[in-house]
Amino acid sequence: MHYRLEISARPGFDDPQARRVEKQVREFLELPLDRARTREVYTLFLDAPVEDVRRILEAFANPVTQTGVLGESRPEPPFDWMIVVGFRPGVTDNVARSAASAIQDILGRPLGSEEAVYTSVEYLFNGKELDAEAMERIAWELLANRLIQTATILSRKEWAETGVPMNCPKVTFQAEPKVREIRLDVSDEELLEISRRGVLALSLEEMKAIQAWHRAHTAERRELGLPPWPTDVELESIAQTWSEHCKHKIFNARIEYTDEETGERSVIDSLFKTYIRGATEEIARKADWLLSVFHDNAGVVRFNDRLSLVYKVETHNSPSALDPYGGAMTGIVGVNRDPLGTGKGADLLINVWGYCFASPFTPREEVPRGLFHPRRLRDQVHKGVIDGGNQSGIPYAVGWEYFDPRYLGKPLVYCGTVGTLPARIQGEPGHAKTILPGDLAVMVGGRIGKDGIHGATFSSEELHEESPIQAVQIGDPITQKKMVDFLLEARDRGLYRFITDNGAGGLSSSIGEMCRVCGGADIDLAQAPLKYAGLQPWEILLSEAQERMSLAVPPEKIDAFLDLAARREVEATVLGRFTDSGRFVVRRQGRVVAALDLEFLHEGAPQMRLRAVWRRPRLADPKIPPKLDPAEALTRMLGRLNICSSEAKARQYDHEVKGLSVVKPYGGVHGNVPSDAAVLAVDQPDSAEGVALAAGVAPRYADIDAYHMAASVVDMAVRRIVAVGGNLDRMAGLDNFCWPDPVEGPGNPDGPYKLAQLVRANRAIYDMTRAYGVPCISGKDSMKNDSVVGGRKISIPPTLLFSTMARMEDVRRAVTLDPKRPGDLVYLIGWTGAELGGSEFYAMLGGVGEAVPRVDAPAARRLYERVAACTAAGLCRSLHTPALGGLGVALAKKAIAGGWGLEADLGRAPARGPDLSLWELLFAESNSRFVATVAPEHAEAFEKTLGDVPFARAGAVIETPELRLSRDGQEICRIPVSELERAFTQTLNWE
Amino acid sequence: MSAETTRHGEREVRALVITGFGLNCERETARAFELAGARAEQVHLNDILAGLRRLDEFHILALIGGFSFGDHLGAGAVFANRLRARLRSQLEEFIGSGRLIIGICNGFQTLARLGLVPALDGRLFEPQVALALNERGVFRDAWVTVRAEKNCPCVFTRGVDVLSLPIRHGEGRFVARDRRTLERVEEEGLAALRYVDPQTGEPAQEFPHNPNGSWNAIAGVCDPTGRVFGMMPHPEAYLAPWNHPLWTRQRAEGALPAEGGGLAIFRNAVAFAREHLL
C-alpha cells in the first residue's frame, strides 16, 4: 500500500525553516516574495492497514507544534506556487532511514524488501510577482541540487488539476552482472581512449605498463581461469590504486628543477621522500614521542603513558564543488574514519575545518554557468560540515575561511580529526596492528551503492560540466556514529586484529592495502551487502559508499564480533579471507573475476618524470592613496573577508561536546574574535593535561614566492600555539597541499612554474620543520584544482595548510588574546619589517608587491622559547600573534576581545631596517611576532624572562574603550572599540 | 543486582547513562555523576531493551545530549518513539518508585516528546510541551546565563541561583501545547530554569540571552514531583573551572571558582538519591 504523510506547522506555531527560505529568497536571490510555508512529506510503501499508519503519523508529527495529515491537505490560505524537493533514486536519504527505524519500532517488525520510506519537502510560496522563471531560480539556485535532487514546480492551477505527484525515487535499473575483458593489444591512441572513456585517469606510459605486464603473464592468468587481458574489475582496481589521489604520483615523481634566478639545476627524486619524510626522519632521531608516521591512515604521537594522539587532515574539494552539502559532509565524516582506521582504531576527539572560497559577494554574472555561486557554496559547505560534525558528537576546535577570486572554479574544503588511542589495548601497543593469513576479511557499516564510483580517479581530473554524477556521496553521520560506537566496543574487547577505512577506491583500496600486510586476500563480491540490485562487480569493488570500515577478524573471534554488531544494529559481513598468495583475488559467486598481483599493483606504476622551472615574478607595489586615513584604512581592513569574524557561521558548530574545551575557537568578551589556537583537555573534562591545535594558511604570498608562503604558513601555525601558552617541545605538524595542476601539458603550459612553486614550498617545509623541531606526522595533497567551465580555466592559487598539534602539560597555564584589566602594559615582541608584499593591505589597494614576509627560523625559535617561558611562569595576562593585517589589525582585535581600550606607540616596535613607513608599521605581515599584555607587577619578571629577544613596552590597556595608536608620540588614529567591532562583525553576518 | 546492594557492601548511588544511536555526551555525563559521588554506568539502549540490564538497577537515569537518530523527524522523536514502544512500563515503574530522571538537551527533547515533563495532572506519555526549532532556524553553540526558580519542586536545581552554561542545539525553543498549559506550568512552579540577562538577572526574551525564543524564557522544566527534569543547557559541559569562556579573565580577577558550575546539578541529584533512595 502507498501512503502519504504530510506534516506542517500547527496554526499559531512558527515555521523557522520557511522564514529562512524567505530571507534567502529576498536577500540572496533578490526576488519579491510575500510568504513561504513548508511541509514535510513521507511517502510510505507499507504492507500495513491504515490504523497502523495513523499510529505512525501520530509518532511522526509532534502533537504540540505540528499537524499531521494522512493524504494531501488543501493549504489555507491558498498558495501561488509549490516546489516539491525530493531525492534522486539511490541518493542517501538519512531522514527516511530514521523514519524506517521508527516505523519498525511501532509495527514491532522489520520492514520487508518491498517496503520503503521516501521523504520530500514541499515549499509553498505566495507572491503576486512570482513567475515561473522566479520559481526555477528558487528551485535550482536555492532549494535543490540537480545532481542529487529532483524539484517539481507547480502553479496553483497545475496543482489544482493534478495534485502533488507521488514521490517514489526507487532504484529500478536492471543490469545483468557482467565481467568484461579489456583488450589492450591495441594502438597507443586506443589505449589512451580506453583510459579516457573509462575515466581511468591513466597515462599512456601507465597503460603500456599494464599492457606489458599482462603480455608477460598470460599463462599464469590462464591457470586462474582469467583471460589474457585484464578484466574490467582488474583494470578499474589498478586505475584507482595508481590514481594521483591514492598514489601521490606528483609528490613521488622524479623532478628536474631549474632555478632561472640562481642558475641551479637539480634532480629531485620524490618531493615527499626528500623533503617531508626526509625532515621528519631527521627530527625523529631526537623525538622519541613519534609512534607512527606516514604509513597508517593518520600519524600517531605519544600523549602520556595511557594515551596516544592521532591526527589527520584531508581535503574534499571536487565532491564539494559538485554537491557542496553532501560533499562537505562526506569530507568531515570521511576524515573521521582516518583516525578510526589508525592503529587498532582511535576514539574521535576533535574536528577541524577550513575552507577557501571566492567572495560570497561575487557578482552573479561573474559566476560561470555550471558552477554554484560562492555564497551558496559557502552556506552549503558550512551546513554539511556542521551537520556531519555535530551529529557525530565531535567538537570542532579550529576553523577558518580564506577568500580569493581564484577559488571560484574549485573551493577547497579541508577537514581534519584528532583521535585518541589507548597506549595499550589487550596488552599490545594501540598504534600497531597486523593481519595473519586465515584472518577473515570483514566489512562493517553502510551498504554498497553506486555512490562515489570513480571518486579517486575523478578527483585526479579537472572538473568539467559533465563530471559524473556517481562521484558524489552523501554522508550518513548516524550510521557512522553507530558503527564507531560498536567498533570501539569491539576494539576494547579485542575482537579484531586490523582495521582500516573505506575511502577513495572503496574495497579495492582498503582490502588491496590490507593485502600488503599479510600477502594476499580472497574475497567474494556476492557476499557484499548492496543498497539495491544491478551493480556490476567492478562497481561493488570500487564503490565509495560511505560509513564503511574493513577489518581483519581472527576466525575464533568472528562469532563474538558478529553478535555484538547485531546487538548494536550495525551491519557486518564476512567477505572472504586474507592469504599469503601474493595476490588479491576477487570472486563473484566463486568464479575468479580478478587476481591482482600485489607487487605489480603496488609497485608497478612507472615513476612520473616532470620538469620544474622557477622564474621569479615581477610584481609592482600598489599605489597608496596619499590621503588614505589610517583610521579608515584600519576599519576597512577589519571588515575584509580574510580578516573579519566568521562567528555567525562558527557558532553553528558544536565546540563544547565532550566537555573538554579550554581555549575556545572564538574568544573575547563577546565571543566573536577567533583565538590564535584552541586548547582542550584530552582525557576527562577535569584533567589538566591537554592539547593545543592551530593552523596556518596564506596562499597570496605564493604569488611572490611559494617558498616564503610555506615558511610563513609553518611559522604561523607554530607561533599560534605559542600564543595560547603552548611550546615547541612536543609539537607535530600536518601538511596539506592543494595545488593547481603542476603537470605540463597542452592545456597547462605553465605547469613547470607551478611545479617549481611546489618544489619551493616543500623546501620551506624541510627547512622550517627542522629548524623548529616540529615533524610532519601526516599529510595529503590534492593536485588538480583547476576547473574548465564554458571554455574558461580557473586555477586556485597554490595553497598550503599547515596544521599543528602540541601537547600541553597543564591547560591551566593557557593564555587567551583578550586584555584582562586596565593598567596592564602592552608589549610588542618580535621584528617588524618592510614586508607588505602579498599583504591584505596591498590586496585592499589592488596590488601584490614583492616584499613578501620571511622567516628567520633560528631567531624565531629562540623567541618562542622565551615567550613560552613567560606563559609557563604565568606572566602574560593576554597574548596574540599578528598575522594577516599585521600589528594594526592585531591590536584592534585585542581591543575588541578585551572590551577595554588599548593605547600603543608603534614607533617603539622593534623594527628590522630603518625608517619603516606608517603603513608598514600598521599592516606589514612580518612573521614571528606577538602582542602581549602584562600586569605591571609582572613587568620586570616578564622582561627578564624575554631576555635578549626583540621586544618593547609600547603602551597600556586603558579604561576608555578606544584604540589609540601613535608613532613616536604622534597620534596615528583613535577609534572607539564599538566601531572596530562593528566593522569586524558586519561583513559575514548571516547565519 | 538491585540498586540497594553494591559490590563493596557500602551504599552507593548508581546512575545510568543510556548510550547509542547518535547520543554523544555519555563520557562527560558519567564523569559528572562520578565527580558528584555516584557510580555511573554507560549502557547501550539495546542492552536494556534486550533485558540484559534493567532501569531499576539504578537510582538516577540520565537521558543525555546528542543527536539520537540524527534529530530526524524532530529532535528526540525517534528515540522517544523507541522508548515508548519498548520501555514504557519500566519507565513508569522507575518514576513511580521515586527515582530521578534528568534529560539534558536531546534528553530533554526526548522527555518532552515522551510526555514525562511537565506531566501535568500526572499524565505520562502525553506530550504537553515541546522543544521547537530555534526561532532563528539554526543550531547554536553559545554560553548563556540561566537562573533557577526558588519556589520550584525541582530536585536538581536546589540551592542553585545563577549559572553560566553552554547551549548547543537547533531545537530548543520551549513551547507549550497552548497558553493554558504554559500557565499551568507557571502556576505549579515547574519552570525550573530560565534564560536571564546576565546584567539584570531578569528573564530574557531577546536573542542572544534567550538563545532560541523560548516562551517565558524557559530553559528547563520538571514534573510536579520535581524528580523528573529536563533542561536544554549542558551542565556536564561545565565540570572544570576552565571550561568557562571567560575563565582566564576570572583567573586574572582572582575569581576563578574551584569547580565548574554545572556540577551542582549532579551533586543535588546524588544527594537526594543518597538521602531518599538508598
Domains of chain A: 2-162 (3.30.1280.10), 436-603 (3.90.650.10), 815-991 (3.90.650.10)
Min distance A589 CA to chain B CA atoms (Å): 34
DSSP per residue over A916-975, as a string?
--HHHHHH---SS-EEEEE-GGGHHHHHHHHTTS-EEEEEEEESS-EEEEEETTEEEEEE
- Using the beta-carbon criterion (under 8 Å), do B35 and A108 form an inter-chain contact? no
The answer to whether A853 and A838 have CB atoms below 8 angstroms apart is yes
Decide: helix, strand or coil at residue A736. Answer: strand
Instruction: Count other Cβ atoms within 10 Å, centred on residue A188.
Output: 11
A814–B242 CB contact, under 8 Å: yes
Other residues' Cβ atoms within 10 Å of the Cβ of residue A440: 21
**Per-residue confidence (pLDDT) for residue A199, from 0 to 100:** 84
- Tens of pLDDT, residue by residue over A227-260, are 999 999 999 999 999 988 888 999 999 999 999 9
Which residues, in sequence order, are bridge partners of residue A965? A904, A973
ipTM of the complex: 0.96
Q: What is the pLDDT of residues B132-175, one digit of tens each?
A: 999 999 999 999 999 999 999 999 999 999 999 999 999 999 99
What angle in degrees, to the nearest 10, is found between the helix axes of A477-492 and A374-392?
Answer: 30
pLDDT for residue A463: 52
Determine the average pLDDT of the residues in A769-785.
Answer: 95
Please answer yes or no on whether B67 and A567 come within 8 Å at the CB atom: no
Give A938-942's long-range contacts (Cβ < 8 A, gap of 24+): A938/A875, A938/A877, A939/A825, A941/A873, A941/A875, A942/A827, A942/A870, A942/A875, A942/A876
Candidate from B142, B238, B242 with C-beta closest to A811:
B242
Peptide bond into B208 cis (omega under 30): yes
CB A458 within 8 A of CB A464: no
Q: Tell me whether residues A686 and B35 touch, CB distance under 8 A.
A: yes
Instruction: Name which of A669, A653, A668, A716 is nearest A853 in CA terms.
Output: A716
- Going from the N-terminus, what domains does chain B have, and what CATH number goes with each? 14-276 (3.40.50.880)
**Is B168 touching A (CB cutoff 8 A)?**
yes
pLDDT at A472: 66
Q: Which chain B residues touch A689 with a CB distance below 8 Å?
A: none
- Pick from B196, B200, B198: which is nearest to B218 by CA? B196
pLDDT category at A788 given cuts 50, 70, 90 is confident
Which chain B residues are Cβ-neighbours of A393 within 8 angstroms? 22-25, 66-67
In a 3-state reduction of DSSP, which class is residue A184? coil
Ramachandran angles phi, psi of A870, nearest 5°? -65, -45
B59-81 pLDDT tens trace = 999 999 999 999 999 999 999 99
Q: Quick check: A94 and B70 CB within 8 A? A: yes
Q: Find residues 458-517 of chain A whose CB sits inside 8 Å of chain B.
A: 477-478, 481-482, 485
Closest CA to A535 of A230, A168, A173, A116: A173
CB A851 within 8 A of CB A919: no
Strand partners, A801: A736
DSSP 8-state assignment for residue A911: B
- Active site amino acids of B: 105, 234, 236
pLDDT above 90: residue B45:
yes
The mean per-residue pLDDT over the stretch B14-41 comes to 98
Residue-averaged pLDDT of chain A: 95
Per-residue pLDDT reduced to its tens digit, A430-483: 999 999 999 999 999 989 888 777 755 555 555 544 444 555 677 889 999 999
Amino acid making up residue A835 = E
Residue A739 has pLDDT above 60, yes or no: yes
For residue A507, the distance in angstroms to the closest alpha carbon of chain B comes to 26
Residue A693: pLDDT above 90?
A: yes
Tell me the residue type at A164. V
| Residue type at position B73 | L
> B70, A877: Cβ pair inside 8 Å?
no
Quick: pLDDT tens for A202-223: 999 999 999 999 999 999 999 9
Q: Are A819 and A898 in contact (CB under 8 A)?
A: yes
Provide the chain A residues 365-394 that lie in CB contact (below 8 A) with chain B: 386, 390-393
First to last CA, chain A: 42
Mean pLDDT to the nearest integer, A380-392 = 97
Answer yes or no: do A101 and B127 touch at CB < 8 A. Answer: no
Chain A interface test: which of B67, B84, B181 (most A C-beta within 10 Å): B67
Cβ–Cβ below 8 Å for A102 and B35: no
Q: What is the DSSP string of A513-577?
A: HHHHHHT-EEEEGGGS-BSSS---HHHHHH---SSEEEEEE-GGGHHHHHHHHHHTT--EEEEEE
Predicted local distance difference test score (pLDDT) of residue A220: 94
Chain A residue whose CA is closest to B137: A16
Residue A19: CB partners within 8 Å, gap ≥ 6?
A36, B137
As a whole number, mean pLDDT of residues A273-287 equals 96
β-pair partners for A552: A441, A498
The pLDDT score that the predictor gives to residue A406 is 96
A874 touching chain B per CB within 8 A: no
Sheet with A825-829, strands from edge to edge, namely A878-880, A930-934, A825-829, A951-958, A901-905, A962-967, A970-976
Nearest to A654 among B85, B168, B245 (CB): B168
CA distance B147 to B204: 11
Mean pLDDT, rounded, for A67-76 = 95
Average pLDDT, integer, range A472-498: 93
Residue A178 CB neighbour total at 10 angstroms: 10
Instruction: Give pLDDT, residue A461.
Output: 56
Q: Can you give the pLDDT at residue A393?
A: 97
Q: Of the candidates A393, A387, A369, which has an alpha carbon nearest to the alpha carbon of residue A328?
A: A387
Give the C-alpha separation, A759 to A979, whole Å: 44
Q: Output the pLDDT for position A466.
A: 42
Distance in Å from the first CA to the final CA of chain B: 14
pLDDT of residue A210: 97
**Chain B residues touching residue A66 (CB < 8 angstroms):** 74
pLDDT of residue B5: 47
For residue B177, give the nearest of A64, A482, A821 by CB distance.
Answer: A64
How does residue B4 score in pLDDT terms, banded at 50, 70 and 90?
Answer: very low
Spatial CA neighbour of A718 closest among A682, A676, A757: A676
More confident of the two residues A545 and A918: A918
Residue A102 sits at the chain B interface (C-beta within 8 Å)? yes
Distance from CA of B194 to the nearest CA of A (A): 21
SS3 A87: strand
Residue appearing with cell numbers 596615528: A972
Q: Do B69 and A656 touch (CB under 8 A)?
A: no
**Rounded distance, CA A332 to CA A355, Å?**
12
Average pLDDT estimate for A633-638: 98
- Name the grid cell of A25: 529568497
- By the CB < 8 Å criterion, does B44 face chain A? yes
pLDDT digits (tens, 9 = 90+) for A720-737: 999 999 999 999 999 999
Amino acid type, A754: K
Q: Which of B29, B93, B14, B89 is nearest to B59 (CA)?
A: B14
